[in-house]
Amino acid sequence: MKKEKNVFNKKDGSKFYLIAFAILFVALIARIIFTGITNDVPVKDGLVANNVANNTQKAPIELSFSDVLRRVNDIKTMDIGKDNVAIGTLKDGTPYRATITYNPELLEKISANGATVSINNTDTMWDGIAKWLPILVSALFLIWLLRLMRGGSGGAGGITRSLIGQNPTKITTGKTKTTFKDVAGIDAEKQELMEVVEFLKNKDKFKSLGARIPRGILLSGEPGTGKTLLARAVAGEANVPFFATSGSDFSGIIVGLGVAKIKEIFELAKRNAPCILFIDEIDAIGQSRSRHSFNDNDREQTLNQLLIEMDGFANDTGIIVIAATNRPDMLDAALLRPGRFDRQINIELPNLEGRRDILDLHAKKFKINENVSMMDVARGTTGFSGADLENLLNEAALHAVRADHKSVEQSDIEEARDKILMGPKKKRKMRPEDIKLTAYHEAGHAFVGLHYDGIVDPIHKATIIPRGRALGMVQHVPVDDKVSMTIEEVRADLSVDLAGRASEEIFFGKNKITTGAASDIEMATRLARRSITMAGLSDKIGMVAINQANTFGQRVALENASEKTAQMVDDEIKNWIDVAYRDAKNLISKNKSSVEKLAKALLDKETLSADEIREIVYGKRGAKKSAPKTTTKKSNAKK
């Protein structure tokens, strides 16, 4: 890849005046500073600072004008320079310095007493420079501005073009080696872009059928999903030049700068067609225009110029504009119409198979132990983007180095995942009773989660090691990606979420429950509210979409609902939570011994794997001795 330092070809005729102006300006500042320094006579230890060898002199005394009038008979010499500063000696040999008011009668009176008086009004070289330098600086600056205005395409345009040369848009140019082989986990999106590659390679094939290739492609999606990588791969696959810039490069403090930059960049692309022009974070200049955006005229002018440039393309120029954004909802509608960005591709977070492919691709850069299962890692990274997965393997490699492992092992990847999801391990000084309560809390989660095995996601491990803000956790790893949940799964999840609080109450009493279940209650409430108000899973509320609106953190009334309906929703949510909590309490109460064994094992080992949890509950590892004493799962179906 090559980087073009300045895409704006500009003659340097005005640089001489700019450099001369800068030099003279610095000289003027230096003169002001030098004058300020020399006007003061530095004194140290009663001696003049510029003593020469052993010929020391007394420091001059400061006389006011009234002192001079009073001591006229004591003055021996007086030398009056510019600014009415007088220096000389008294008859006793003491040097002095005074600022006097020019008065011929006073000077005659001093001379009449035998004193030698001299007046020096001659300008020094520095005085001449100080007088003419500001005029010269101003003249050079005006000449520079006039040359710019004559050299540009009209008045301020020339100045703007010159300023662009001083602050060029950052454009990455050249041919990229990235191809579709370097992109994994987004096969459907790659297929959408294959038409662009085919057009760049063989546009006559499309012309023969009268087909028009999209002029612009908008890639949207969450951060880290591979938008920039995909754009680079299109250019590499088609073997055409790739020009990359970002929306923020078009904004500046100079009005008209963004417009000029847009023009120059598209001229550069036309000179190198066929090519790919990639604009990252296009929402920086492409935000929707409105009647109230009076203070953002420069951004709107830049957007207008972008619209003009894209609309002005001929169908056979071979320039494909690819833009990326995380906020497609903010873009102006004029950008998204056919003829501009007429194809929009939303890049979603990778699914299970996609995460495994991405992990396999990135694993080639690391030394991974052969016993590591990338499918197991993919199952435990639901919601991770491609960038997150690469960062996961990198964190695992760093942990392997710290642990002095010869290769990245499964334990390194698990530690890296826990660190990313919940933060690093915390060494907190906790009271013994808090540690014990945490163990019973997590044991409650683990037991109820094991009871609903097959309905909720399988348990991966339970731990009481503090991480981030959590004092402990029970981790579930999904078998595959869920796109929806049944009402049975919702109610089971609610019981698992509230099992920690239920265990605290059963083993320590109602007066000993803690705030440690706050996040569990929050998750359960959110799940219940979404199920009732959006998914229509409540018979009492029915299949009505009632969205919860939270504006600026303030709780407001439910949308599309009357006050009576809002009260019914609140009552139904509370009913679901109460039923789930009662279900969890019943399960733990009837199996206290099993839950207590789990808690004691957590206190002893701090972390239990899924197999160890099953062995404690069922008796033998990997085989169920007998089902725990529980009520049937009918409690889950109550509404």
DSSP 92: T
Beta-bridge partner residues of 550? 555
The token pair that represents 623 in the structure block: 């085989």
Beta-bridge partner residues of 607? 463
For residue 130, the Cα-to-chain-centroid distance in whole angstroms is 49
Cβ pair 413, 395 in contact under 8 A:
no
* Residues whose CB falls within 8 Å of the CB of residue 70, separated by 6 or more in sequence, listed in order: none
Sign of CA dihedral 29, 35, 38, 42: negative
Cβ pair 584, 520 in contact under 8 A:
no
Beta-bridge partner residues of 2? 173
Rounded to whole angstroms, the Cα distance separating 221 from 73 reads: 93
The token pair that represents 555 in the structure block: 């709780």
Task: Give, in degrees to the nearest 5, the angle at Cα 102 between 100 and 106.
Answer: 85
Rounded to 10 deg, the angle between the 386-402 and 410-422 helix axes is: 120
* Residues whose CB falls within 8 Å of the CB of residue 557, separated by 6 or more in sequence, listed in order: 549, 563, 566
Rounded to whole angstroms, the Cα distance separating 108 from 106 reads: 5
Query: How would you list the strands of the sheet with 85-89, edge to edge?
Result: 61-63, 95-99, 85-89, 77-80, 116-119
Long-range contacts of 25-30 (CB under 8 A, 24+ apart): 25/137, 27/129, 27/133, 28/133, 28/134, 28/137
N- to C-terminal Cα separation, the chain: 62
Query: Is position 281 annotated as part of the catalytic site?
Result: no
Strands 550-551 and 554-555: antiparallel
Which residue among 237, 414, 442, 572 is the active-site one?
442
Residues with a catalytic annotation lie at 442
